[in-house]
Every structure is written in C-alpha cells, then in structure tokens.
Structure 1
Amino acid sequence: MTTATIHDSYLAEVRTRRLWSSVAALLFVLLFLGGFMIADERNAGGFWPGIPHILDFPADVLAEASEQWRSLPGLIAEAFPALIETVNIAGASTLIGGLAGAVIALLVTRGLAPAPWAVAPLRRLLDILRALPELVIALVLIFVLGGGPIPAMIAIALHTVGALGKLFSEVAENASLRPVEGLRSVGATWSQRMMLGILPQVAPNWLSYALLRFEINIRASAILGFVGAGGIGYDLRNAMSFGPGKFAEAAAIFVLLFATIVIVDQTGSALRNRLTKGAAT
C-alpha cells in the first residue's frame, strides 16, 4: 500500500466522520426544536410572552426587601433554626450514605471483592441509586411517610450511596495490592485486609469526595423542602407562596442560604485541598 493510498483512505475516513457528525448535530437540533415547541404549546402561559416578565419576581423581592431592610437581621435569625435542620439533614444523609457507599465500594472493587459473583448486581444497584433523582424518591417517601425531614434524609442518603459508592470504588481500584497480599500471607481476614491495607491509602480521597457530596446534599435538602420535606426550603416555599408581604422574609432566607452555601463550599474546598495535597506528599 502506497503513501498516497493511505492518505486517500485517511481523508475518506475523515470525511465520513464529519458527515455523520453533521447528521447527528442536525438531528439533535431538530429534536431540540421539536421538544421546545411541544413544551411551549403545553405551557399554560407560553414561553415567549413570559420572557419580558422573567425579572418581575426578583424585582418585587428586592423592592420589598429594600423597604424593610431594618427587619432583615431579625428575619435571618428567625430562619436560622430551619437552616440548622437543613444542614442536619445533609450531614446525616452524607454520613449514612458515605458509610454504606464505602462498604459497597469495597464489595464491588475488582481484586478486593470477597464475592466476585456479587460485583455485577451491586454495581447495577449503584447505577439505579444514582439514576433516581432525590426529588422523585422524596415524593414517594412523603406520600408513604408524610412530610418532614425523614423522607428527605432517606432520599438524599440513597442517592449518596450510589454516587459515593461509584467514586469510592474507582479510588480503591487504584490502590496498591501489596499491603493486601502481605496481610493475606499472615492470615488476615478480608475485613482486616481492607481496614489495614486499603483504607489508609484511600482515606484522604474518600474524605475529599464525602466533603464535596456534603456540599451537594445541602443544596439538595434545601430543594426538597419545596415538596414538604422540611428545612429552610419549606420556609422559603411558604414565603414565596404568600406573595407580597412575605418577600422580605424570602429575601432573608435567600441571603442566609447563599451565605451558608458559600461558607460550606469554601471550607470544604480548603479541607479537600489539604487532604489531597497531604496525601500526595
């Protein structure tokens, strides 16, 4: 085969790939436009007529908050207990989900799993838990258990198991097996090999992922409050539902929630950097 033939074959393959990429992009655009038109037709108010009014609600909230700015510190103090409930929901669900995810991660990691036949079913279980949104799980649990923080905690914990189980297993797959083999040679049990041979290697990265998940779960617990799962999201929904007269309370909750997310995000980032850099050194 000559160089010219190889060059022509390569160019033909490039043209074919570009053609299929163009066809895929065109299909994506057509599907997007078709879906958008259907959604716009089914929307009660219509998308295009509503665009000029998209900033009306934020403007009303800011206007009322600016008029009642002296009352904002008191409103923030009133909303603080609900924020503590939201953080508690996120913390408990992260702890429960993280512990369960750690155990399942070790059970599905190739080379570490005590029962290789159970790896595939457990991986599919993690896929299902990740695929189910917390909101859907919470709505089902609220229908069964009633409103409150318990459905939110269970829903977030289940999703956390799927997310952290996947991440933890990927970290464990990169761990060195030499300590495990050494412990096996002296008769250590599987749990002892995991505790002494694997956990010291993966702990910094696992803690880093858990902190990141805690940040995500705070946002999730606040969102679930809108469907009756308690916490600061529930108070925010009520303040927004009452409309004018309660907008200052909604603004105070927005400020408190935003400040909390920023503080947790910055603190978590600093801790994660310290953990990962410490592990690297």
Structure 2
Amino acid sequence: MTSAATPPSVVGVIGGGRMGAGIAQSFAAAGSRVVVVERDGATAADALERIATGLRRAGGAPESAVPGTVTAVSTVAELPPDAELVVEAVPENAVLKAELLAAAEGVVTDTCVLATNTSSLSVTELSTALTRPGRFLGMHFFNPVPVSGLVELVLAPGTTSTTLAAAIGWTRVLGKEEVVVQDSPGFASSRLGLALGLEAIRMVEEGVADPEAIDTAMRLGYRHPMGPLRLTDVVGLDVRLAIAEHLHATLGERFAPPRLLREKVARGELGRKTGQGFYRWQ
C-alpha cells in the first residue's frame, strides 16, 4: 500500500462502463497505471475511448498517451499481480460482484486493497466471498466520477484500519473528499438520495407539478446543483429502480418503487443513456 501522499502505482478496474471508465480516468490522471477488465475486445475498445476522451477534455494526458497509461484485458486473471488497488465496478448483481472479487483476490498479492463501487448492495455480504476480508471495503464513487468531489467509503465489520487509511489517502490524492460510513442498506448517500428521488417521482405521478418545476424548486430553493428528476435521468431509471427494489426489500414500504418509475423502465425510458427519461436528451 502506498502512502497517503501518492496514488497507487497500479490500479485494476473491473468493468469499463460509465462508472468504471470514470474511475480509471481519475486514477490515470493522478499518475497510476490502470488496467481495465472488460469482457471482449469491442467493449474494451469502447472503454478505452471513453477514458481517452475524458482525459483529453479534462486536460489530462493527451489521447496518444492513453494506451501507455490505461490498458484493457478481457479476464480478471490478467490483472497485474502488483496492483495496489482493484476496484470492482460492474452492474448491481451481488453474485457477479462476489465472483469477480474472489477471482481478483486469487491474482493479486496479500497487500492489495480490494474495493467495490456498489451503491446499495451489502459490503458485508460481498466480503464473505474473500479469504482476507480485512483488505476489502466499499469505495462508492459518484457520477460523473472525474468531476464529482465525493467518495463514500463503506466499512464492513472486518475492514482493517490500514485498509481504510489507504483508501482515504487515495481518495484525497484524486482531489476528492471522503465520508466514512458503516455498511447499511443504501449506505448514507444512496439511501437519502433515493428517498428524495422517489418522492419526486410520486409528485409527478400525482400531478403535483411537472419534472422541470420540481427540479427548479430544489435547485433554487435548496441550492441542489441538479434536481432529483434530472439526476434520476443521469443515473439511469433502471439503476434507480434496482436500488429501490433492494431498499424496499430491506428497509420497508417507504422505498416502494412508484408505478411511474416501473412503467418508464418497462418502456425503455431509462434517462440520458436512451435519450428519454423524465426529460428528452440529445
């Protein structure tokens, strides 16, 4: 593990979607060598292009330098054994995440920190897939990762103080601020953010106001940088629905998904990524 003043020299990122690419971009910009795991050549190429574009727009490494800073492999077995940090950033499927984390543990050294970017699943349950759960925690990054200032560090009961200290140091190297929370359904951020988003959806469903009016009220009245419905579009309605279903099962009726959310997801209106959610996107 590196000191708090330096980034990890080698970082593995499992998953090269929007979140994984953002995490990879952030560590690459900080000076880490990053290896992204994607399932095939086409998705790996897409991930590398997203990272290259992000670095170029952010004024980081020039696009021509990205292949030397960020590379892609197709299996977890190809992760570099000398990685100091491996972050799992695949979709919210507990079985898939546990399998990938266990596979990564079999590749890296005993000092490597393993982290999950889950926004709602139990970090404690995921830790049971590992033989050394003390070096595991949640590193919940926020979208878009390169410009978001927050990382929510989620502790399982066995997470060691050394692991937490390393994660705090790396968070700060990225120019972000950490909040440390204990493992609980939805943690702090997803739980509160989802409660606001679901109530906003219910207000649209009940005809209280249209999405733009609700979002404007929260931006101007409460100084939120983005209203809850536009944020839902950015996150993805399908992602919000999956988190709501999980919290509904674990925390009760107050997180029951609104009918309107289910209908939009069923129609494929998933937000920005499909061009239509509560707003129309170019």
**TM-score bracket relative to the smaller structure:** under 0.3
Instruction: Give the TM-score normalised by the residue count of structure 2.
Output: 0.24
Question: Could you say which structure has the higher helix fraction?
Answer: 1
Instruction: Give the TM-score normalised by the residue count of structure 1.
Output: 0.25
Relative contact order, higher structure (CA 8 A, sep 6+): 1
Based on CA coordinates, which of the two structures has the bigger radius of gyration? Answer: 1
Question: Could you say which structure has the higher strand fraction?
Answer: 2
